[in-house]
C-alpha cells in the first residue's frame, strides 16, 4: 500500500463522517417531532408514525438505500447518490431516535406537567421550559449510542456508489491484489471514530451528572 492508498481511505473517512453527521443533524430533531406526535396522541397521525417506526426499524439499511435510490425516480423524484444516501440514513436514524425520545417522554413525571398546567403555562412554554430540559438529559446517552450505530451503518450507502471508508478500502484492495492491509486500516479508522464517540458519551454523561449542560 502506498501513501496515496492510505490517503484515499482517509478521504473515505471524511465522507463517512460528513454523511453520518448530516443524517444525525436531520434525524435527531425529526425523531423528536415523531416522538412528540406519538406522545401527544395526535389522532390518525400517531398511527402513521407507529407504522413508520415499526417498518423502518425492521428494514435493512441496504434495502432502504436501494429503495430510495432506485424506486423514487419511478415516482418522479430522482436523487443523486449523495442526497439519496442522506435521505436513506436520515429515515432510518429518525425511526430509532423517535423510540429513544419517546421512551424518555413516557417516563417524564406527569405531576410536573400538571403543575405547569395549573400555573396556566401555555402549551409551547410548557414543553420548552418543563419537559424538554429533562427529557433531553434523559435521552442524551441513548442518542449518542445510536450515533455510533449510525456510523456503523453508513457502509450500506456504498451499494449506490458512494466512496466511503469501506468502499475506498475495497478499491485499494482490488488495485493492489492485497485485500487485507486496506481492510485492517479501515478497521482502525472505524475504531478511532467509534472510540471518539464513546469518549464523548462518557464526558457528556459525567457533565450531566454534575449538573451542567442543561
Per CB under 8 A, residues contacting other proteins are 54-55, 57-64, 66-67, 70-71, 73-75, 151-156, 158-159, 165-166, 169-170, 173, 178-180, 183, 186-187, 190-191, 194-195
All 3 cell numbers of residue 38? 406519538
Q: Give whichever of 133 and 179 is closer to other proteins, judged by the CB atom.
A: 179
Q: Give whichever of 75 and 214 is closer to other proteins, judged by the CB atom.
A: 75
Q: Largest Cα–Cα distance of the chain, in whole Å?
A: 71
Q: Give whichever of 63 and 125 is closer to other proteins, judged by the CB atom.
A: 63
All 3 cell numbers of residue 98? 423517535
Least separation, in Å, of the C-beta of 184 and other proteins? 8
Q: Give whichever of 56 and 121 is closer to other proteins, judged by the CB atom.
A: 56
For residues 49 and 91, the answer to whether their CB atoms sit within 8 Å is no
Least separation, in Å, of the C-beta of 208 and other proteins? 22
Least separation, in Å, of the C-beta of 61 and other proteins? 7
- DSSP string of 147-194, one letter each residue: HHHHHHHGGGGGGGT---HHHHHHHHHHHHT--HHHHHHHHHHHHHHH
Least separation, in Å, of the C-beta of 10 and other proteins? 15
Question: Scanning the structure block, which residue is given the C-alpha cell 478521504?
Answer: 11
Q: How far is Cα 159 from Cα 113, in angstroms, rounded to an integer?
A: 47
Amino acid at each position: 500500500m502506498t501513501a496515496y492508498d492510505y490517503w484515499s481511505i482517509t478521504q473515505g473517512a471524511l465522507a463517512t463522517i460528513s454523511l453520518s453527521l448530516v443524517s444525525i443533524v436531520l434525524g435527531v430533531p425529526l425523531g423528536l417531532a415523531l416522538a412528540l406526535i406519538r406522545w401527544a396522541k395526535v389522532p390518525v397521525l400517531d398511527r402513521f408514525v407507529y407504522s413508520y417506526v415499526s417498518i423502518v426499524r425492521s428494514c435493512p439499511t441496504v434495502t432502504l438505500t436501494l429503495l430510495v435510490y432506485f424506486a423514487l425516480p419511478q415516482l418522479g423524484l430522482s436523487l443523486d447518490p449523495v442526497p439519496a444516501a442522506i435521505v436513506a440514513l436520515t429515515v432510518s436514524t429518525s425511526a430509532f431516535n423517535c423510540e429513544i425520545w419517546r421512551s424518555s417522554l413516557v417516563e417524564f413525571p406527569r405531576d410536573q406537567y400538571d403543575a405547569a398546567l395549573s400555573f396556566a403555562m401555555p402549551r409551547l412554554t410548557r414543553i420548552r421550559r418543563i419537559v424538554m430540559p429533562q427529557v433531553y438529559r434523559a435521552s442524551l446517552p441513548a442518542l449518542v449510542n445510536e450515533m455510533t450505530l449510525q456510523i456503523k451503518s453508513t457502509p450500506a450507502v456504498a451499494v449506490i456508489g458512494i466512496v466511503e471508508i469501506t468502499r475506498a478500502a475495497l478499491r485499494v484492495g482490488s488495485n493492489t491484489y492485497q485485500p487485507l492491509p486496506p481492510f485492517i486500516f479501515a478497521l482502525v479508522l472505524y475504531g478511532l471514530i467509534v472510540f471518539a464517540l464513546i469518549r464523548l458519551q462518557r464526558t457528556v454523561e459525567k457533565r450531566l451528572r454534575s449538573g451542567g449542560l442543561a
